[in-house]
A and B are shown apart, each in its own frame.
Chain A
Amino acid sequence: MATHIQVSTRINGEDVDFLCDTRQSLLEVLRDVVNLTGAKEGCNNGNCGACNVMLNGALVNSCCVLGAEAEGAEIVTIEGVAQGDHLHPLQTAFLEEAALQCGVCTPGFIVAAKALLDEEPDADEARVRHWLAGNLCRCTGYDKIVRAVLDAGDEMRKAPAGR
């Protein structure tokens, strides 16, 4: 019985082929097969957003996607958000504004917030709060996260090139 399937993708701008168990979620594939452990498992049923990645330009909970579904897909994970040594404005804002405590939800928040700001860099507080309601953080009370996203949006509007 064939239990594995070969899948060809582009992950963070590089061609990545992997062999995955047909039962494996994209999150499991990223973490256990491709060894990109930045996306986290918090709930494994789409409630916490810690596993957020971009799949063909759409924000997804990678725990709710099968690895086999990623055939031909373009995937961006937290590991692909910075460009070399150059942090994304969201990453800089999270650091400078202490928008993380334990940090385990941070990859999901940054990927989700980037998905918003790439489309709507002028998103206001209400929009940011609405967009990020699928990402759970238990440490911060969200105040500094929302501020960091708003400030990153300001930065991106000032210097939109390449972002």
Chain B
Amino acid sequence: MAAPTKPEYKVIGTRPVRPDGIDKVTGRAQYGADIRQARMIYGKVLRSPHAHANIKRIDTSKAEALEGVKAVVTGADLPQSGDRRSDKSLNVLAADKALYRGHAIAAVAATNPYIADEALKLIEVEYEVLPPVLDVREAMRPDAPVVLDWVRTTSMAGTGEEPTNVAAKGGFNFGDADKGFEECDEIVEGEFKTKMVHQGYIEPQACTAMWNPDGQLTVWTSTQGSFPVRNDTSEILDIPISKVKVVPTEIGGGFGGKIPVYIEPTAALLSKKSGRPVALRLDRTNVFEGTGPTSGTSIKAKIGATKDGKLVAAYADMAYEAGCFPGSSVTLGAMAMFAPYDIEHVKIDTYDVVVNKPHVQDYRAPGAPAAGFAIEQLVDELAEKLHIDPLKLKQMNSSHEGTRGPGGMPFSRIGQEECVEAAMNSEHYKSPLEGPNRGRGVASGFWFNVGLRSSVNISVQPDGTVNLVEGNTDIGGTRASLAMQLAETLGIAYEDVKPMVVDTDAVGYNDVTAGSRTTYATGMAVNKAGLNLIEKMKGLLAAKWSAEPDAVEFASGTFSSGENSASFREAAGIVAGPADATLNATGEVSAGVLVGGGFSTHIVDVEVDPDTGKTQILRYTVVQDAGTAIHPSYVEGQMQGGAVQGIGWALNEEYYYDEEGKMANASFLDYRLPTTLDLPMIETVIVEVPNPTHPFGVRGVGEVSIVPPLGAIANAVYRATGVRQFELPMSPRRVLETTHDLG
């Protein structure tokens, strides 16, 4: 089916240079570690060497006595309300138990980083080491060591009685899966495992905190959400929210990992104790061991179809590691798992499981890639058994408008069918792949497009340009994509909009830059602000033109009424002279979570070296529905970047633990991100099926591109080797082990 035609836009769909670009190519942009304050001192964090241990005693006296040390803090310095500190607070600084290797135990601030490091060595901690539990299925066993004594299983049936690591049981049940499987001619199933992986942002967490004598706390930090940092810091320190100002710096990548607070409350406490601004910056090992990666998972799945290729029934048992506190993305993974397909009977059981590893955090489409690794291999296997082209099978079973979507609500207009069709019609898919040890794989994926809250202010400057004040940190070109939407709304040039990201005191509340929401939801707020401004200007123009208030019209960037007409800039000059009105407006949006919906289909060609097991990506194509691509280059960038993170996850990346729960590869040398040398160009096909919930048809594009690669590459490796891959990463060793018998 053809995509609907989109309106003629002047700015949307062009590729201007981003407003923050010059600063970022000349080294002037200020990131988290680039903040300097007079009399600033340096914080460092002492971390647990054990994955699971009771903390019997902490003695900081020798550290405090070291020349140059200005403050030392431990968990005892954090306020406690109720019977225990919150999970968030406990993750910032441990209380009486270390829950993972890398768990923060204490922190110091000193006049230089070397003295701070020396002081850490002088802190005496007496541990009682406990056996760790590291694997999700082992942690679910009744005889497993219990990580947190207050955890009880919550489920629809209520709350359990016994201490356990299974924090929650949940799931979904649509139709009658048992009956559905009886109707199937072909059923395939498998058990799939993935390891913890890290977002791998290049900039480690870094903040600077300054606690003034009047109780006003200012925090400069690299974060995806300055307002959530403000809220969490206020809550953990038990100080009024009005006393905390968060100033977002430029952010060096996040992918979900820079939503929570790790260091801000600690830096604030060190500043309060020392009376000095405190810079606290993590190193790479701290980042791997002490911040939240995404879950290791275990998924047992089964799907069935009729002999003519109709998917009828699906079942999944999904267990996700939450790390040391409850709260994995298993429910989101379950909601996303079967979303590309119209399947009548679906049953999913989910388990959120606590283990002695860092508390997991969001990572681009959290929960969905592991689910995709399972379902996309099973769909591929069905296609092979039914002798149907794998994309053809997807096309026959695609979700579409009205299909039951995640959680049971029907989808609005979505673009899964269009993506599959575009993939089938691509030059890549039509080109034959020849040669030994080579294979082609395809996979689809779904991710949400959340709304949440955004708020912007706009004001017209004396020269007719417009300042756009927003609160979402710009992680990949959103100053540009928001300025473009305002320019389109006002009918002015992109260059006439000056966007700026400000601190939490200077703009209304904004939720995180996450969930593929900024260009979508903040874009809606920008559009509203623009429309509000136009209405205001219409009224003012009517007075100047002696026209009826509703007689002024605005179209294609021009105000008009009878004989009179004026461009936006002319109109601003007419109504906003020195003795006239000031021209400003706000725009706000508060939208639901389950809006929009992004789909993507990937095609990959690989060659597997039969001697080493190494998989080389020969060619890669990403097809994705962007709704409307505001700035196509940055849309392509999201498609390419997510795909390459998925390639790394598929082939190389994993948290490699020893039996004591020590991560053995906590560096960029041993935790190997993809490099230029591992990759070809990443081809892109932007599909545009406008999102009916957005004024310009935008869908968030930031996340779904990481969902298909795991399954697509597994399918390609299967076609190249004849062996299915049930565990990630498909490292040379694992591929060699699994294909060895056939060698």
Contacts and interface: CB of A to CB of B under 8 A. Distances in A.
B633 A97 contact: yes
Dominant SS at the A interface? Answer: loop
Contact of A141 (B202, B252, B281, B644): B644
B289 interface: no
Nearest to B198: A138
B579 interface: no
B682 A143 contact: yes
A101 interface: yes
A98 B15 contact: yes
A9 to B, nearest CB: 18
Given A44-B284, A129-B677, A36 B27 contact: yes
Contact of A95 (B21, B200, B204): B21
Interface stretch (A64-72, A74-82, A154-162): A74-82
Contacts, number: 180
Interface string A135-163: 11111111111110000000000000000
Q: Which of A81, A101, A107, A138 has the most CB of B within 10 A?
A: A138
B696 interface: no
Given A40-B33, A43-B667, A94 B25 contact: yes
A98 B669 contact: no
Nearest to B283: A44
Interface string A71-110: 0000001110110000100010011111011111111001
Contacts of B682: 141, 143
B36 A35 contact: yes
Given A40-B31, A137-B202, A96 B17 contact: yes
Given A42-B202, A129-B677, A143 B640 contact: yes
Interface string B11-37: 000010110111011111111011010
Contacts of B17: 95-96
Contact of B477 (A87, A101, A106, A135): A101
B578 to A, nearest CB: 33
A37 B30 contact: yes
Contacts of B319: none
Interface string B641-654: 11111000000000
B181 interface: no
A120 to B, nearest CB: 16
Given A105-B202, A129-B677, A138-B673, A91 B637 contact: no
B591 interface: no
Interface in B500-546: none
A116 B559 CA distance: 53
A102 B476 contact: yes
Contacts of B640: 140-141, 143-144
A16 to B, nearest CB: 16
A144 B633 contact: yes
Given A44-B283, A47-B669, A132-B676, A101 B202 contact: no
A90 B506 CA distance: 36
Contacts of A134: 675
B675 A101 contact: no
Contact of A101 (B27, B112, B204, B475): B475
Given A43-B668, A45-B284, A138 B25 contact: no
B681 interface: yes
A43 B204 CA distance: 8
B251 interface: yes
B679 interface: yes
A103 B642 CA distance: 16
B667 A21 contact: no
B488 to A, nearest CB: 19
A140 B253 contact: no
A101 B255 CA distance: 12
A54 interface: no
Contacts of B283: 41, 44
A100 B24 contact: yes
Interface residues of B, number: 59
Measured as residues with beta carbon below 8 angstroms from the partner, the interface class of chain A is 35 or more
A82 B23 CA distance: 12
Dominant SS at the B interface? Answer: loop
Contacts of B681: 125, 143, 146-147
Contacts of B644: 140-142
Interface in B233-279: 250-255
A158 to B, nearest CB: 20
A101 to B, nearest CB: 4
Contacts of A110: 25
Interface string A11-35: 0000000000101000000010001
Contacts of A37: 27, 30-31, 33-34
Nearest to A93: B25
Contacts of B250: 102-104
A87 B25 contact: yes
Contacts of B251: 102
B114 interface: yes
A78 B27 contact: yes
Nearest to B631: A98
B637 A98 contact: yes
A59 interface: no
B25 A146 contact: no
A1 B669 CA distance: 36
Interface in B612-668: 631, 633-634, 636-637, 640-645, 667-668
Given A100-B24, A110-B25, A50 B202 contact: yes
A121 interface: no
Contacts of A23: 114
A4 B667 CA distance: 30
Interface string B675-687: 1110101100000
Interface of A: 21, 23, 31, 35-45, 47-48, 50, 77-79, 81-82, 87, 91, 94-98, 100-107, 110, 125, 128-130, 132-147
28 contacts: A35-B36, A37-B27, A38-B26, A39-B27, A40-B31, A42-B204, A45-B284, A77-B27, A98-B636, A98-B637, A101-B634, A102-B253, A102-B475, A106-B25, A125-B681, A129-B676, A135-B675, A136-B668, A138-B201, A138-B641, A138-B645, A139-B641, A140-B637, A140-B641, A141-B682, A142-B675, A143-B682, A146-B681
Given A41-B204, A129-B679, 4 more contacts: A47-B668, A79-B27, A102-B202, A136-B668
Interface of B: 15, 17-18, 20-22, 24-31, 33-34, 36, 112, 114, 199-204, 250-255, 281, 283-284, 475-477, 631, 633-634, 636-637, 640-645, 667-669, 673-677, 679, 681-682
> Closest 4 CB pairs between A and B?
A38-B27, A104-B252, A141-B644, A103-B24
